[in-house]
Structure 1
Amino acid sequence: MIRYFYLSSFALFCSLVVEAQSVSGTVVDHSNNEALVGAVIMSSFDTTITNESGRFGLNATLPMDIQIRYLGYEEIIVTLKKSGSIIGLKPSSTELGTVIVSAGATNQSIYTSPTSIGVIDTKLLQRDAPFTTTSAINRTPGILMQSGTLNTNRLTIRGIGSRSLYGTNKVKAYYDEIPLTDGSGNSTIEDIDQNFIDRMEIIKGPNSSTYGAGLGGVVRLFSHRPEPLQTSLSVSQTVGSFGMSRFSIRADHNDGKNQITIGLTDLLSEGFRDNSNYNRKQAGITARTQISEKTSISTLAQYTWLKAYIPSSINEDDYLNAPEKAAFTWGQAQGYEQYNKGLLGITLNQQFDNSSDLKVSIFGKYRDAYEPRPFNILTENTQTIGSRAVYSKEWEVFKLHVGTELFRDKYQWSTFENNYTADSNGSVEGALLSENQETRTYQNVFFESNYALTNTISVSAGLNYNHTAYDLITKYWTNGNNNSGAYSFDPVLSPKLGINYQKELFSLFGNISHGFSPPSLEETLYPDGQINPNIKPESGWNYELGTRGQKGGFRYDLVGYYMEIKNLLVAQRTAEDAYVGVNAGVNNHFGVDLLMNYTLDINQNYQFNTFFSGSWMHYEFGEFINDGNSYDGNQLTGVPQWIINGGFELMSSKGFYGNINANYTGEMPMDDANSLYSSGYFLLRSRIGYLLPIKQLEVDLYLGADNLTDTHYASMILINATGFGGAAPRYYYPGNPRSFYTGVKVKYRF
């Protein structure tokens, strides 16, 4: 009898050991994989919190459902099927909380960051049509993204980049750890479809030593990540006015240790204007594997094919009376740009212990382009290779990060005669005019540190060293000159210093930082192809003071800043297709950025949210003499003094949702003399939808409208436009009139 009792007890003990296993996991930020310390994990058996490494342990039986809560992040319920899973949380669109941001090498709570930074997550992107990210970016204070067409965009941060003529320059951009900015300083953020973006972070001003200390700032795009512990397939189709059509499909898998996303998009548009047909096809894959507890590897690959016709800018008479017209010569030549572009990056993240790690990335890019223009035909080929490495070490009150970034651009371009006529039905390639090759090498060495003086006060410091050099080989030029040569800019040291006071959900911060912007390709060369040895990078100092806070459902972010910029780069136009760069003076930028949000929980399924953002931008030429004319005291060309956004939205985890948002953009000077201004304008947008969950299926039906007031406005201006051959100068890119779109997205969770 006693032996039977012992055997029964032993069997019961064994069964309890088998059933009540010790289950572990890790909770991280969904986008940047930063550990979330103090996240609450609840199951029907146990409750615990994550430790300093984001890890937790439970005594429970697998599989089991757990609920995870963390301030500033969306609450989730997931089913654990195995121990060791990594679970990512998405930041809440309506709370600052302790959201982890990547203002530099240090991933930190937004309340402990001494930097002005804007965060745009997936839900904020989905307030608008899925065709572009322009509207979401323009709701961020201090940011202006002008969009002439889907492929002609100019992003400015606090006025930096406003003098770039047809694209984004002097603002650095990264897609995960891969630079989207080329060796000449140009960035094409609009190329990345929403289907491949999980989140955007915009660092305003030269506050990021680890990403090059760019004078304008840094735009970081984070690739899409699968939902935790799920496998799903998403398909969407959107159609709209002016022949707009976007199809996307995406497959996601996340088993806790392996994440993979494969996606494809096809975007088409006939365009509001003549000669503005657009087609972009994009395919991408991202993967992340947790090789061991301390080692992970990530891969990102993307291919883009684009063919976009170019209507170009038009003169004032056409803008007022026939805005649908293309510029006459561009229409006759049927000008367009077409390119194939690819990027590939691999990142190894090695954690040595709980206080140190090393992240190493290698990447490669290429772009092969063909662009028939009225004045010539341009062919381009760019090949880029590079690497980034960051070592981080953390002590009890001190963090240190050191690293380097190096990339090398090989850019080859040729121009040909364009022998189009009124009867040729488009461009006709003629004789070779020029053939060149430029190799540009760009190196950053940097460090950042953070020291906690007290429980509430921390100090950060950083230093960036940059060296840029290029070699030019002229293979052919019509004048027969050999313009080959080498040039190297003087090394630039850019320090920064910041201080932050934080108590609960309130912070006060300030910083001083230095930044620079290298000249573009056009600014480094004279019109005849010779090297311009006198050109210097723009450089300047930035001073900021700001505060952030949250009480109940109300939150705010207020920043005042001053920036002084020396060696202002000016592209002087000497012909329709020729420019020369000069350093023309000093700029003074004063500004205030304000962001406010109030959220009200109606019930467990619905939430009401109101939002407001405003930018006051007083930018003026301090000392500016160009071509013998003095423009001292004039307003900076191509930037308004006021941008205001506001609106409200009803959010729902299931059922009806909707929003309406308004934008006011003030008048902008179109020439340095401030003799011409574009008109200020008011735009109204709205989107409504219904989210219908059916077991494992989720159906999202939506309808939206842009420019509801049918405002006639210039969505982009060409500053300092010059008329040639007696033609009127072409300053204006007309914005689309009232337009509508509708679509459906179907998601199936396996």
Structure 2
Amino acid sequence: MPRLLLTLVLIVLASSFSLAQSQLTILDKNTQKPIAGVLAKIPGQNNQVSDEEGKLAINLSKPSLVNFSHIAFESISILLDGNERLTLEMSPAISSLAEIVVTGFESERPLVHQAGAISKVLENELYRFNENSILSAFNTKPGIRIEQRAPASYRISIRGSSLRSPFGVRNVKVYWNDIPFTSPDGTTALNILDLSNIQNAEIIKGPAGSIYGAGNGGVISFESRKSVTENHVSSDLGVGDFGLLRYRIGVDQGLDKGSISASYVHQKSDGYREHSAMNRKVFQLAYHNKPSEKRELSTQILYSDLKYQIPGALNPAQVEENRRQARPGSVGQNSSIAQKTLYGTLSHQVDFNEKLKNSTALYVNTTEFENPFILDYKKETSFGYGGRTKFTFDDRWGNFPVRIIAGGEYQKGKTLAQNFGNRNGQADTIRFSDDLITTQAFLFQQFEIDWTPKLLMTIGFSENFSRYDIDRQIDAGPNSPAANTKKFDPVLIPRLAFVYKLTDQSGLHASISSGFSPPTIAEVRTNEGSINLDLQAEKGSNYEIGYRGRFGIVNLDLTAFYFKLNETITSFTNDQGVVLFRNAGATDQKGIELSIDYTLYRNQLSQLQEVKLSHAFTGHYFSFSNFVSGGVDFSGNQLTGVAPNTLVNLLDIRSKSGIYLNVTHQFVDKIPLNDANTVFQEAYNLLGSRIGLRATFGSRWDVEAYAGVDNLLDETYSLGNDLNAFANRFYQPAPGRNCYSGLKLGFRY
């Protein structure tokens, strides 16, 4: 009897220490085919790899968080208890145009079958450069150029649209999480966002008025991270030349039916040039909830506190003397910008049934803005609100699938804008004070029909309304205070587009669209106090044809377009140095945009896992077709501020050990800096590189260390010239060779 009892005890003890086994089958989420070579990282054990049938057996002594990774798929982590049979689905890492899904023109389709020129900037592309701005990632896309006149002073050009933007972001519509981010006055404070506030971005090139209202320069749609798959704490630290310091801390917490995320980022630098320091603090809080399978609710709060100095443009002699100096007077007058912005959003999506759904988003924001400049001192306090709603109806018209999209957008802003004299960087006597009310609204409708399984047609319209009310309360000049109104008549903007699906991996697209872009209030009401009510809206027509496809390992995206623009708004500078605006007749804009990428090598199990090359070419052959100013005929000249040719080459290498290398080359052609084409920014080549190591320790810790160099060739160039500048002050010198490095830590709990 004692021996039997001892045997039973030993059996119980042995069973308590036995390993439980999980049987896993790993499949491609899209094709449902098994994935061989998936690496399973198991705490306290050697890594395991799935077989040819995607099968894997994991023995566990206790519940453990296991990470699954593959070079061609997105990594996932799951908690395994043991004694279970599971089928895991892994999503392919983006390697084909057919796998990149975009929502441009409010139609969620693979990029290869989208009816328009759309580029997508993915999260991994944002983080292959110095993480101090979005500039480098966006400049790898054909037809897109971001310039930086000083740290945090951006100017965006989509197909040459920066001609009317001496500073700031204009003539480009920007959305953040499908919510209008561009103010109703037509300007966008893009510099209040940190890179961490963006997960990916879509860029629609050319007029997109059928869905997004007035604007000829295109649309940028930013998306921040929404879904939280695991609880996570992360922190980043980045440093670099010229006093660059950036640190971030973030928390993602999953909830019963949603998630909550919070992050804080502080970035500052002394700047390459004298008087070019910047300091930005950004806090973001996001809550996402899915109370049912048919409803989603999201709300976000963004607070940004931004300060940056403005060194000003230099003439050729000053550049030759010392390219790092500030423009004389900038330091003494404390030329700079201080801006505090609070931005709150609320969005709601609901599926009424299988055919009808609605998406509605609202926002409210407040801004305090202060801008001492060499010539004056500006203060503004503004409040704005608005929203966007969209209904989508999917049905059949006879034998043809159809989709009807209809909705509207409304924005209103109220601003107290005051201009003072500037006495040694302090506000002096008031010059004028205006109460500004800006209103912008439009309705949109879009009809999509699949005439055949291969042919898709899209017809879209929008009806646009805009108005500026400028009530001058104080005027120290010769004019008496008065109320002024600039109202633009309702404008109907149509768009017709076709897509022909050659295969699942290729397609042709063509479109004809109209553009309408009213001047911003900053162009109607300028810094010296004048109000130019005669400034007319730009109007144009765009004709476009393109091809997207995949040939084996090669992805190809080619677009050719012709944009005829009338009443083109251009900038010039008077003898006091004040930037003014005028309509410049017409411009002809012909262009070719090409991107090619191909994976030279990919093997999950070898030490060298992936080698990828990408190329992007932009040919913008823009000219004034009819422009006479001051008795001088500029017709036939190149469009000011536009490089005829740019070329970007990218090399990306990844290894099994987690080491990666990114190399970037960019060529920019000569850029005309004045309408007469007598002054040019010389052509230049930029070369940069980033090397790093990503590793996972245990199953919970993620670590990345990286270092990089920009402008490796130490080129002398300007990244953001002043156009048609008075006294030849064209140049905003960019940094020479400079280095950066960083460390990231993440913990899953």
Q: Do the structures match in fold with TM over 0.5?
A: yes
Distance 1:196 1:124, change over 3 A: same
In structure 2, give the amino acid aligned to 1:365: N
Equivalence map 1:2-41=2 (5 Å) = 40=32
Q: Which residue does 2:476 correspond to in 1?
A: 478
Structure 1 CA distance, aligned partners of 2:527 and 2:742? 48
Q: Does 1:168 align with 2:169?
A: yes
1:714 aligns with 2:715: no
**Offset at 1:250?**
1.1
**Alignment partner, residue 48 of structure 2:** none
C-alpha separation in 1, matches of 2:29 and 2:103:
16
- 1:78: Cα distance to partner? 4.3
Deviations 1:114-166 (Å, cap 9, x if unpaired)? Answer: 11111111100111000011011110000111111122221111111223111
Shift of the 66–247 alpha-carbon distance from structure 1 to 2, 3 Å rule, reads: closer
| CA displacement, residues 371-394 of structure 1 (integer Å, 9 cap, x when unaligned) | 111211110112111011100100
- Out of 441, 444, 449, which is 1:443 matched to? 441
CA distance in 1: counterparts of 2:592 and 2:585, whole angstroms: 24
The change in CA–CA distance for 1:652 and 1:188 in structure 2 (over 3 A counts) is farther
d(CA) in 2 for partners of 1:489, 1:654: 60
Question: What residue in structure 2 maps to residue 460 of structure 1?
Answer: 458
Instruction: Quickly say closer, same or farther: Cα 1:67–1:734, change in 2 above 3 A.
Output: closer
Corresponding position of 1:12: none
1:470-528 superposed Cα distances (whole Å, 9 cap, x missing partner): 21111101025123122211111110011001121011111111112110224324777
**Offset from partner CA, 1:366-421 (integer Å, 9 cap, x none):** 2101111121111011211101110010014100100000000112211112122x
1:98 Cα offset (Å)? 3.0
Give the match for residue 24 of structure 2. none
What CA distance in whole angstroms lies between the structure 2 residues aligned with 1:439 and 1:72?
52
Confirm whether residue 178 of structure 1 aligns to residue 179 of structure 2: yes
Deviation track 1:207-239 (CA, whole Å, cap 9, x = no partner) reads 3522225211001110123552x1101101010
Distance change (3 Å), C-alpha of 1:72 and 1:100: farther
Partners of 1:146 and 1:91 lie apart in 2 by 34
C-alpha contact 2:715 2:736 (8 A) present in aligned 1:
yes
CA shift, 1:647, in A, is 2.2
Deviations 1:635-691 (A, max 9, x none): 000010011000211135751111111000111001000011110110001000011
| RMSD value, Cα | 2.6
SS at match of 1:104: helix
- SS of the equivalent of 1:274 reads coil
Q: Within 5 A, what are the aligned runs for 1:708-747?
A: 708-723=712-727, 729-747=728-746
1:701 aligned residue (702, 705, 711): 705
Aligned length: 681
Within a 5 Å distance, the mapping from 1:351-370 to structure 2 comes to 351-370=351-370
1:146/1:207 CA distance change after superposition, 3 Å: same
Secondary structure at the residue paired with 1:353? coil
Native 8 Å contact 1:525 1:580 kept in 2: no
Question: Does residue 258 of structure 1 match 2:258?
Answer: yes
How far is the alpha carbon of 1:184 from its aligned partner? 2.4
Change (3 A) 1:483 1:196: same
Q: How many Å separate the matches in 2 of 1:414 and 1:666?
A: 40
Aligned to 1:392: 392
CA distance in 1 between partners of 2:511 and 2:208 (Å): 8
Q: Percent identity?
A: 26
Structure 2 SS opposite 1:374: coil
SS at match of 1:183: coil
Of 611, 614, 618 in structure 2, the residue corresponding to residue 611 of structure 1 is 614
CA distance in 1 between partners of 2:443 and 2:359 (Å): 15
**Displacement of 1:256:** 7.7
Aligned to 1:549: 549
Deviation at 1:628, TM superposition (A): 2.4
Q: What is the DSSP-based 3-state SS (H/G/I as helix, E as strand, rest coil) of the residue aligned with 1:324? A: coil
Deviation at residue 715 of structure 1 after TM alignment: 1.1
Equivalent residue number for residue 625 of structure 1: 628
Corresponding residue number in structure 2 for 1:666: 669
The offset of 1:70, in angstroms, is 14
How far does residue 555 in structure 1 lie from its aligned partner after superposition? 0.6
CA contact (8 A) 2:163 2:570 kept: no
> Does residue 562 in structure 1 map to residue 562 in structure 2?
yes
Cα shift at 1:300 = 1.7
Q: Structure 1 residue 505 and structure 2 residue 508: aligned?
A: no
Moved more, 522-531 or 617-626: 522-531
Decide which moves more: 645-654 or 493-502: 645-654
1: CA distance between counterparts of 2:90 and 2:480? 60
- Structure 2 equivalent of residue 581 of structure 1: 581
The structure-2 alpha-carbon separation of the partners of 1:202 and 1:43, relative to structure 1 and needing over 3 Å to count, comes to: closer
Aligned partner of 1:342 in structure 2 is 342
1:311-331 residue CA offsets vs partner (Å, 9 max, x unmatched) = 111111122231110001102
Q: 1:78 to 1:653 in 2, by over 3 A?
A: farther
Q: Please show how residues 60-79 of structure 1 align to structure 2 within 5 Å.
A: 74=74, 76=76, 78=78
Q: Select the residue among 689, 694, 697 that pairs with 1:691.
A: 694
Structure 1 residues 328 and 477, CA gap change in structure 2 (3 angstroms): same
> 2:685 is matched with which residue: 662, 666, 682?
682
Secondary structure in 2 matching 1:330: coil
Quote the Cα distance in structure 2 between the aligned partners of 1:528 and 1:690.
53
Counterpart contact for 2:604–2:656, Cα < 8 Å: no
Deviations 1:694-720 (A, max 9, x none): 011011010110001111111111000
Distance in 2 separating the partners of 1:439 and 1:654: 58
Letter in 2 for 1:459: M
Q: Deviations 1:327-376 (Å, cap 9, x if unpaired)?
A: 01102222211010111110010111122101111111121011111211
* Aligned counterpart, 1:657: 660
In the alignment, the residues of structure 1 paired with residue 157 and residue 333 of structure 2 have an alpha-carbon distance, to the nearest angstrom, of 31
Q: Provide the rounded CA distance (Å) in 1 between the counterparts of 2:515 and 2:325.
A: 41
1:317 is paired with a residue whose SS is helix
CA contact (8 A) 1:184 1:518 kept: no
For residue 487 of structure 1, what is the amino acid of its counterpart? Answer: K
1:433 to 427, 431, 434: 431
One-letter code aligned to 1:485: N
Q: Structure 1 residues 526, 657: CA separation in 2 closer, same or farther (over 3 Å shift)?
A: closer
1:709/1:408 CA distance change after superposition, 3 Å: same
Unaligned segments of structure 1, at least 5 residues: 1-26, 28-35, 45-62, 82-86, 421-426, 724-728
Give the Cα separation in 2 of the matches to 1:438 and 1:378.
14
Task: Check if 1:135 corresponds to 2:130.
Answer: no
Which residue of the partner structure matches residue 40 of structure 2?
Answer: none
Going from structure 1 to structure 2, the CA distance change for 1:94 and 1:536 (only over 3 Å counts) comes to same
The residue correspondences of 1:326-341 to structure 2 (distance < 5 A) are 326-341=326-341
Match of 2:137, SS state, is helix
2:190 aligns to what?
189
Amino acid paired to 1:236: D
What amino acid does structure 2 have at the position aligned with 1:221?
F
Q: Which amino acid aligns with 1:713?
A: Y
1:546 aligned partner, one-letter code: G
Query: Is the 2:97–2:110 contact (alpha carbons within 8 Å) kept by the matching residues of 1?
Result: no
1:456-478 residue CA offsets vs partner (Å, 9 max, x unmatched): 11111110111101211111010
Question: Does the 8 Å contact 1:39/1:70 carry over to 2?
Answer: no
Residue matched to 2:97: 96
Select between 564-573 and 672-681 the one with higher mean Cα deviation: 564-573
Q: Give the superposition deviation at 1:42.
A: 8.0
Pairing 1:275–2:275 present: yes
Instruction: Judge conservation of contact 1:260–1:285 (CA < 8 Å) in 2.
Output: yes
SS in 2 for 1:284: strand
Counterpart residue identity of residue 415, structure 1: N
Measured in 2, the distance between the counterparts of 1:537 and 1:121 equals 34
Q: Distance in 2 between matches of 1:391 and 1:69?
A: 39
